[in-house]
Amino acid sequence: MAGKKKKKRYRLLRFVVKLHLVLLLAAGAGLSWYYFGGYAEEIQELSGEAHRLVSMSGPDTFRGNQTSIVYAADQTVISTLKSGKESYYLEIGDIPVNALAAMISIEDKRFYHHNGVDYRALLRALKVMIENGKATQGGSTITMQLARNVFISQERTWQRKAEEIFIAWEMEEKYTKNQILEFYMNNIYFGNGYYGIQSAARGYFNRDVRELGLSQLAFLCAIPNNPTLYDPVTNIGNTLGRRNRILRRMQEDGKISESVCRSAVEEVITLERPASVQKNDYVETYAYHCAVRALMENEDFHFQNYFGSEEEEAAYNAAYEALYTECQRKLYTTGYQIYTSLDLKLQEELQGAVDETLQEFTEVNEEGVYALQASAVCLENENGLVKAIVGGRKQNFAGYTLNRAYQSFRQPGSAIKPLTVYTPSFERTYTPESVVRDEPIENGPRNANGRYAGDVTVREAVERSINTVAWKLYEELTPERGLSYLRSMNFSRIDPEDYRPASALGGFTRGVSALEMAAGYAAIENDGEYRVPTCILKIVDVSGEEIYAPEKVEKPVYRQNAARMMTDVLKGVMTQGTAMGLGLSDMPCAGKTGTTNDNKDGWFAGFTRYYTTSVWVGYDMPRKMDSLMGSTYPGRIWQSFMLRAHEGLEPLDFLPYAKLSEDLENQGVSGWNGLENGAGEADDSDD
């Protein structure tokens, strides 16, 4: 028995010795990796840089910022962008105690007990990351967040995290806790250009922060954690959800009672934005969006719309969101001069065409927004730049900033056919005069009038928007091939469910935007060459140095002759097809109508040699409208605007396409079979 105990002791001793040896070897390997891998030197440099930045700082570092200016094409000022921090800076004694308590409870519970870094929080975040396989908690203290917002970028690398920690340590040495909290509350980003809680209070409630109640203060404190996800203007449900979590945290921390918490959670929040932000100016929202993405491009960010897995998409979205927020912050604080292609005269005319055409529709929704809406985009064909963009009907409505022209996606109906069916088919053996057969298709679409014409040319099929012909050509082409053209032109909402015959007629799961449609049609006008739409000409920094100018890149999507064939056919749509009567007098033009099932969405997209314009009309919450077709309200908006836009311009005809041999011109195509599966939601109109 004694012998067995002795053996056990020896085995235990050998195990302990081996464990110590392994740990020593691991530590040695780690130290070798740290020193000889160059990391020690890099860490030393980051520490030194942190000391330099903080030692040179003072209270004024956290107060002032440069104002950025956005210019129109003629260099008149569109708007100025400033954070308002200096004029709205509050001493800590002027910030409501409940606001301070709310922020500490949700962002940094141990703020007054750490030296700038909360090691418990970091370990907790690491543990959650290991358990979930991804980072869901940041572990950053208020001091670290302030360091990231004022001194360094939002980039997620170990170097940035290390520098953030070093700066936090240095700040805790130089400033008191109350100073750091004061700096934080005046510098943190609350979305929509608001930096600091006073700026946010005025921006969202049009009141001084000291006039706000507990629920409103907690509501504001919900935003900085993720200004996009918790944006009160576009995602108020998310903001309210986080407000409630903050209130419950405050109750848990003993800052408020249960009854006070319950009352604050039940309080209804109503935004009351000041008149200065009620302009509903679609020019500004789009210009800011393009400028932010231009700054992201400057950081070598690679934009993408499609992903191999959910994990890849989640990682991309996290990186995009972090950099977008950082670049948006720079836009409001760094003093850029942003030069755009936007033409304010054309903008006024496009907005006027929308408002005048829809003026008889006065119904509003629960928020007071017009129920029937529209969006429209005009591109200049010489360079592919955006000249005018309208995201809805003009309306003085507090807090409403949705720009439907690039933020809303709807089914395009037959307006998509030239992009996915006909121009691709012209790249094959088809020509405008090729003969195809209009006939019933088992489990396929029907023609709106219930009649079928038999043999018709492709030209006639487009002019009359015959669904059966588009369906057959698309089946032959394959949805995979047809949709590849849209993906090549950065259409961002193509869904896996869209790879079906119904997408030939615009039956998409999520849809397309007016901006995407304008860029797609502009590619046809431009001999098949696609250009990424933007309004940014250049961005100049405060020292006068040009830091960004978009590369003039044209991407071949369609063959030149196919694009010219399509243009010639679309000219016929204007003179003897579904858009007859929507022409531009003696100015040659080409275009296509689109109407979805039950007349829920109406589209018109068309171009001249000068401009390409796309128009969408419909309800934000899709519903049937008997009088809505591509040729009615969308077509009238398009014609009204384009007539004004072309006043005084010389008529220019389109370049002709090269004729093929007589054999190919007269080639007939027959023998198509019906499909086994039904169409699903698609365009059954002849528009």
Q: What is the pLDDT of residues 181-201, one digit of tens each?
A: 999 999 898 988 888 999 999
Residue 33 has pLDDT above 60, yes or no: no
Helix (H, G, I), strand (E, B) or coil at 229: coil
Architecture of the domain spanning 376-653: 3-Layer(aba) Sandwich (3.40)
Q: What is the dihedral of CA 508, 512, 514, 516, to 10 degrees?
A: -130
Report which residue type is found at 184: Y
CB atoms within 10 A of CB 71: 19
Mean pLDDT estimate for the chain? 87
> What's the CA gap between 235 and 226, in Å, rounded?
11
- Are the C-beta atoms of 362 and 406 separated by less than 8 Å? no
Region 564-583 average pLDDT? 98
> What's the CA gap between 538 and 61, in Å, rounded?
28
Q: Which residue has the higher pLDDT, 332 or 473?
A: 473
Lowest mean pLDDT among 41-55, 259-273, 517-531: 41-55
pLDDT level of residue 124 (50, 70, 90 thresholds): low
- Are the C-beta atoms of 465 and 413 separated by less than 8 Å? no
Answer positive or negative: Cα dihedral of 184, 188, 193, 197.
negative
Answer positive or negative: Cα dihedral of 242, 404, 406, 683.
positive
CB atoms within 10 A of CB 439: 17
DSSP 420: I
What's residue 149's pLDDT?
81
- Percent of the chain scored above 90 by pLDDT? 67
Residues 6+ apart with CB under 8 A from 594: 412, 413, 414, 415, 416, 506, 601, 602, 603, 604, 605, 630, 634, 683, 687
- The token pair that represents 15 in the structure block: 């195990």
Residue 685 has pLDDT above 80, yes or no: no
Q: What is the pLDDT of residues 350-388, one digit of tens each?
A: 999 999 999 999 999 888 899 999 999 999 999 999 999
Residue 50 has pLDDT above 90, yes or no: no
Highest mean pLDDT out of 40-54, 119-133, 173-187: 173-187
- The token pair that represents 303 in the structure block: 């934009």
> What's the CA gap between 536 and 331, in Å, rounded?
13
What's residue 393's pLDDT?
95
For strands 68-71 and 337-340, give the pairing: parallel
Q: Which helix (H) or strand (E) holds 311?
A: helix 310-333
Q: What is the pLDDT of residues 231-246, one digit of tens each?
A: 998 899 999 999 999 9
Q: What is the pLDDT of residues 442-479, one digit of tens each?
A: 888 887 777 899 999 999 999 999 999 999 999 999 99
In terms of Cα–Cα distance, which of 539, 513, 624, 549 is closest to 282?
A: 513
Residue 534 has pLDDT above 70, yes or no: yes
CA angle (566 as vertex; 560, 569 as ends), nearest 5 = 145
What's residue 30's pLDDT?
47
Residue 682 has pLDDT above 70, yes or no: no
> What's the CA gap between 295 and 65, in Å, rounded?
18
What's residue 610's pLDDT?
98
Residues 6+ apart with CB under 8 A from 612: 378, 379, 381, 518, 521, 522, 525, 605, 606
Lowest mean pLDDT among 31-40, 72-81, 463-472: 31-40
What's residue 155's pLDDT?
54
Residue 672 has pLDDT above 90, yes or no: no
Q: Please write down the long-range contacts of 109-112, taking CB distance under 8 Å and 24 or more positions apart.
A: 109/249, 109/253, 110/141, 111/141, 111/142, 111/143, 111/177, 111/181, 112/177
Residue 4 has pLDDT above 80, yes or no: no
What's residue 628's pLDDT?
97
Helix (H, G, I), strand (E, B) or coil at 684: coil
Q: What is the pLDDT of residues 143-156, one digit of tens each?
A: 999 988 888 755 55
Residue whose pair of structure tokens reads 């009141």 in the numeric block: 207
- The token pair that represents 361 in the structure block: 């529709």
> What's the CA gap between 658 and 560, in Å, rounded?
10
> What's the CA gap between 186 and 86, in Å, rounded?
9
What's residue 276's pLDDT?
56
Lowest mean pLDDT among 92-101, 196-205, 445-454, 533-542: 445-454
Report which residue type is found at 459: R
In terms of Cα–Cα distance, which of 404, 410, 414 is closest to 377?
A: 404
What's residue 275's pLDDT?
62
Q: Which helix (H) or strand (E) holds 612?
A: strand 611-619
> What's the CA gap between 466 and 529, in Å, rounded?
27
Residue 50: phi and psi, rounded to 5, are -60, -45
Distance of CA 429 to the CA centre of its chain: 38
Q: Which residue has the higher pLDDT, 141 or 139?
A: 141
In terms of Cα–Cα distance, which of 632, 562, 570 is closest to 602?
A: 632
> What's the CA gap between 368 and 658, in Å, rounded?
54
- The token pair that represents 469 in the structure block: 């012909």
- The token pair that represents 142 in the structure block: 């208020």
CA atoms within a 13 Å half-sphere pointing along the CA-CB vector of 361: 22
> What's the CA gap between 341 and 324, in Å, rounded?
22
CA atoms within a 13 Å half-sphere pointing along the CA-CB vector of 200: 26
Q: Which helix (H) or strand (E) holds 662?
A: helix 662-665
In terms of Cα–Cα distance, which of 618, 589, 588, 583 is closest to 606?
A: 589
> What's the CA gap between 116 and 121, in Å, rounded?
12
What's residue 80's pLDDT?
81
In terms of Cα–Cα distance, which of 364, 500, 525 is closest to 420?
A: 500
Count of residues in the chain: 687
Q: What is the pLDDT of residues 540-568, one digit of tens each?
A: 998 899 999 998 899 999 999 999 999 99
> What's the CA gap between 685 and 674, in Å, rounded?
19
Residue 63 has pLDDT above 70, yes or no: yes
Region 605-611 average pLDDT? 98
Residue 533 has pLDDT above 90, yes or no: yes
What's residue 562's pLDDT?
98
Region 76-88 average pLDDT? 77
What's residue 161's pLDDT?
74
What's residue 128's pLDDT?
56
Q: Which residue has the higher pLDDT, 244 or 64?
A: 244
What's residue 407's pLDDT?
96
pLDDT level of residue 11 (50, 70, 90 thresholds): low
Q: What is the pLDDT of residues 501-524, one digit of tens each?
A: 999 999 999 999 999 999 999 999
CB atoms within 10 A of CB 558: 26
Residue 408: phi and psi, rounded to 5, are -110, 145
What are the residue ranges spanned by the domains of the chain? Answer: 108-188, 376-653
Helix (H, G, I), strand (E, B) or coil at 376: strand
Going from the C-alpha of 281 to that of each of 14, 68, 397, the distances in angstroms are: 76, 17, 11
Q: Which residue has the higher pLDDT, 163 or 394?
A: 394
CATH H-level superfamily of 108-188: Biosynthetic peptidoglycan transglycosylase-like (1.10.3810.10)
What's residue 157's pLDDT?
60
Residue 80: phi and psi, rounded to 5, are -115, 145
pLDDT level of residue 39 (50, 70, 90 thresholds): low
Give per-residue burial for 601-620: e unless 16+ CB within 10 Å, then b: bbbbbbbbbbbbbbbbbbbb
Residue 296 has pLDDT above 80, yes or no: yes
pLDDT level of residue 679 (50, 70, 90 thresholds): very low
* Strand boundaries in 65-167, DSSP class E: 68-71, 77-81
Question: Residue 234 burial by CB count (10 A; 0-12/13-18/19+): exposed, middle or buried?
Answer: middle
Highest mean pLDDT out of 72-76, 87-91, 140-144, 645-649: 645-649
Residue 3 has pLDDT above 80, yes or no: no
pLDDT level of residue 333 (50, 70, 90 thresholds): confident
Residue 397 has pLDDT above 80, yes or no: no
In terms of Cα–Cα distance, which of 68, 98, 112, 131 is closest to 201?
A: 98
108-188 and 376-653 agree in CATH topology? no
